[in-house]
Chains A and B, each alone.
Chain A
Amino acid sequence: MNPSVRMETRDLSVYYGKKPGVKEITLPIYDRQITALIGPSGCGKTTFLRALNRMHDLNPVVRVEGEVLLDGKNIYDPDVDPVVVRRRVGMVFQRPTPFPTMSIFDNVVAGLKLVGERDRKRLRQVAEEALKAAALWDEVKDRLFSPAAGLSGGQQQRLSIARALAVEPEVLLMDEPTSALDPASTQAIEDLLASLKERVTIVIVTHNMQQAARVSDHTAFFLDGSLIEFDRTEKIFTNPKDPRTEAYITGRFG
Chain B
Amino acid sequence: MPRWIYRRLGDRLFAGVVVALGLGLVLLALLIAYELYSGAAPALGRFGFFGFLLGREWDAVRGVFGAWPALLGTLITSALALVLAFFPALAAAIYVVELAPAWLKEPVAYLVDLLAALPSVVYGLWGLFVLVPPLRAHVESPLYLWAAAHAPGVLPLLGPPTGIGLFSATLVLALMIVPYASSLARDALALVPREQREAMYALGATRWEVIRGAVIPYARAGIFSGVVLALARALGETMAVTMLIGNSVELPYSLFGPAATMASLIANEFTEASDDLHLSALVAVGLLLLLIALLTNLVATWILNRMQLEGGRR
Contacts and interface: CB of A to CB of B under 8 A. Distances in A.
> Quick check: do A and B touch in the complex, using CB within 8 A?
yes
B205 interface: yes
B196 A97 contact: yes
A245 B197 CA distance: 36
A145 B313 contact: yes
B222 to A, nearest CB: 12
B312 A90 contact: no
A86 B312 contact: no
Nearest to A115: B204
Interface in A41-89: 53, 55, 58, 60, 83-87
B180 to A, nearest CB: 25
B214 A99 contact: yes
Given A83-B206, A167-B204, A103 B311 contact: yes
Contact of A148 (B206, B310, B312): B312
A114 B217 contact: no
Contacts of B200: 99, 110
Nearest to A173: B202
A147 interface: yes
Contacts of B197: 58
Nearest to A112: B203
A97 B194 CA distance: 10
B201 A103 contact: no
B40 to A, nearest CB: 43
B313 A90 contact: no
Give the interface size class of chain B: 20 to 34
A146 B313 contact: yes
A103 B313 contact: yes
A164 B196 CA distance: 14
A167 B311 contact: no
B31 to A, nearest CB: 42
Contact of A110 (B101, B213, B218, B310): B213
A145 B200 CA distance: 20
A55 B205 contact: no
Contact of B198 (A58, A100, A145): A58
Interface in B153-210: 193, 195-206, 209
B102 interface: yes
A110 B312 contact: no
Interface string B82-116: 00000000000000000001100000000000000
Interface in A144-158: 145-150
Contacts of A90: 202-203
B62 interface: no
Nearest to B203: A111
Interface in A99-132: 99-107, 110-111, 114-115
B314 interface: yes
A163 interface: yes
A164 B313 CA distance: 22
Interface in B188-245: 193, 195-206, 209, 213-214, 217-218, 220
A91 B285 CA distance: 59
B312 A164 contact: no
A60 B312 contact: no
Nearest to B196: A97
Nearest to A110: B203
A105 B314 CA distance: 11
A112 to B, nearest CB: 9
Nearest to A111: B203
A145 B314 contact: yes
Given A83-B205, A101-B220, A102-B217, A60 B102 contact: yes
A145 B205 contact: no
A102 B312 contact: yes
A9 interface: no
17 contacts: A60-B102, A86-B204, A87-B203, A90-B202, A93-B195, A93-B202, A97-B198, A101-B311, A103-B311, A110-B200, A110-B203, A111-B204, A145-B314, A147-B312, A150-B311, A163-B199, A164-B203
Given A86-B203, A145-B313, 7 more contacts: A58-B197, A83-B205, A86-B201, A91-B198, A93-B195, A101-B310, A103-B313
